[in-house]
Structure formats: C-alpha cells, structure tokens
Chains A and B, each alone.
Chain A
Amino acid sequence: SQKIEQNSEALNIQEGKTATLTCNYTNYSPAYLQWYRQDPGRGPVFLLLIRENEKEKRKERLKVTFDTTLKQSLFHITASQPADSATYLCAPGYSSASKIIFGSGTRLSIRP
C-alpha cells in the first residue's frame, strides 16, 4: 500500500530563515500533490497544488517542488514569521484513485 512520510519531529526555525518541510511517498507516483496548513483546533486549509509535470510552484513566500525521481516533495517558506507556526500536511493525489490520503504532518515552530 502507498505510504506517505513526513518528518514526525517538530521543526524549529529562527524567524527570517527559510523553513523546508519534506514529504516522501513510496510505490506509486502521484499525479499531483497538495499541501495544507492546520492550526490547533481547526480544519486544514489548502495552500498549494503541484502537478507531476511541474517541477516547482510558487505562491507569495511559499514554494513547492516535486521530484518524481526521488519520490519527494519539498515545501519551503521563505522569510519565515512566527505566524507561520502550524502543522503542515501533504496529500498526494492519484489519477487512478478517487480518494486523498494525508501524511501525518510536520509541526513547524518559528521563534522570534
């Protein structure tokens, strides 16, 4: 079965630095990959989607890369701020499947 792996340990970053989160998947290559942000006590919020034929996607201070050879997506937050502190989830999507399975998420803390 497909596995989705995100860093289970929290990531602590100094404000202003670039935070990089990793999402690895096994077996089948997804047709696209989504990234979400989740704050405590709230539902996840969709951030970005990158397709398999896209190497990189940007939105403001966010950048996502997708390497089908490494079976990995990287999520970058540049010029990080304490307000970026949250849990970030990745979710691969497959053209042959109609359900989305989420990774367990990585908790990011930005210290002032």
Chain B
Amino acid sequence: NAGVTQTPKFQVLKTGQSMTLQCAQDMNHEYMSWYRQDPGMGLRLIHYSVGAGITDQGEVPNGYNVSRSTTEDFPLRLLSAAPSQTSVYFCASSYGIYPQLTGKDPGGYTFGSGTRLTVV
C-alpha cells in the first residue's frame, strides 16, 4: 500500500516551459487536491476533485490545469511556467471530507512527499 505517490520529487524548468506533476493514490479515495507551499507560508489550495470527472478551483488556480479521468490519478499541469510558480507542491487525498456526499465520516488527508519545483 503506497499511499499517495508524487513524481517527480525535484524539477527545474525554464520560464515558459510546460510540465505535468503526477499524483497517484491506491487507497480508493474519492477526494484529491493539490496544494503549493512557499517558504514561511502555509498550504494554499490550487485545485481539487471530489471524484472522477469532477474538478474545481481552489485559492490560487491561475496558471494550472487539472483533470481527473480515474479515481487513482490527479495530474497537475503547468501551462507556461513562471518564476512565481517556484514552490513545493503537495498532492493529498481523503476518502471523504463531505459526509453528505460520501456517507462516511470525514477523514484526514494523506499527503504525498511533495515535488520541489524551481522555475528559472
């Protein structure tokens, strides 16, 4: 049981390049989300998904796209990298934070180990 797997762990991009950060979970969690964390700051929500085929924007969605074609995978795409996107990116999943939809008690997030992205 691997939990939440993020790849790559480190990446350096040039301004204007695009790339996809991968996130996969094997816990059959319905809820997945992407956060970024900058030095001295907390986690800021980029995008999230309550199930396959459903995504929505978080606090800081500009410059990022997501899709959720399967329950297991939730990739984050940087369309045209900018230095302001230099950050540590975390993917997280949960079986349910929304009891009315899932019928389950809300559970805590399981986080991946993060991707450290530098845009030069």
A-side residues, CB < 8 A to B, are 31-32, 34, 36, 41-47, 49, 89, 93, 95, 98-105
Contacts of A101 in B (CB 8 A): 45, 59
Contacts of A46 in B (CB 8 A): 107-110
Please state if A98 and B98 are interface contacts (CB–CB under 8 Å): yes
A-B pair number, CB within 8 angstroms: 63
Please state if B100 and A95 are interface contacts (CB–CB under 8 Å): yes
Bitwise interface map of B from 96 to 120 toward A, beta carbon under 8 Å scored 1, else 0: 0111110000111111111000000
The SS class assigned to the B binding surface is mixed
Please tell me if B74 contacts chain A, counting CB pairs below 8 Å: no
Please state if A95 and B109 are interface contacts (CB–CB under 8 Å): no
Which B residues, 38 to 70, have Cβ-Cβ distances below 8 Å to chain A?
41-43, 45, 48, 50, 56, 58-59
Min distance, Cβ A31 to any Cβ of chain B, angstroms: 8
Contacts of B98 in A (CB 8 A): 95, 98
Give Cα distance in the complex from A12 to B43, angstroms. Answer: 23
Min distance, Cβ A15 to any Cβ of chain B, angstroms: 26
Give Cα distance in the complex from A98 to B57, angstroms. Answer: 11
Please state if B113 and A43 are interface contacts (CB–CB under 8 Å): yes
Give Cα distance in the complex from A19 to B10, angstroms. Answer: 35
Contacts of B50 in A (CB 8 A): 98
Contacts of A89 in B (CB 8 A): 42-43
Chain A residue at smallest Cβ distance from B111: A43
Bitwise interface map of B from 72 to 103 toward A, beta carbon under 8 Å scored 1, else 0: 00000000000000000010100001111100
User: A89-B42, A100-B97 in contact; A43/B106 too (CB < 8 A)?
Assistant: no
Please state if B114 and A42 are interface contacts (CB–CB under 8 Å): yes
Give Cα distance in the complex from A40 to B97, angstroms. Answer: 26
Shortest 10 CB-CB distances between A and B: which pairs? A46-B108, A43-B111, A104-B42, A102-B43, A98-B98, A98-B50, A102-B42, A43-B90, A99-B48, A44-B111
Give Cα distance in the complex from A103 to B67, angstroms. Answer: 26
Please state if A98 and B31 are interface contacts (CB–CB under 8 Å): yes
Min distance, Cβ B101 to any Cβ of chain A, angstroms: 8
Give Cα distance in the complex from A43 to B45, angstroms. Answer: 14
User: A49-B106, A49-B108 in contact; A95/B99 too (CB < 8 A)?
Assistant: yes
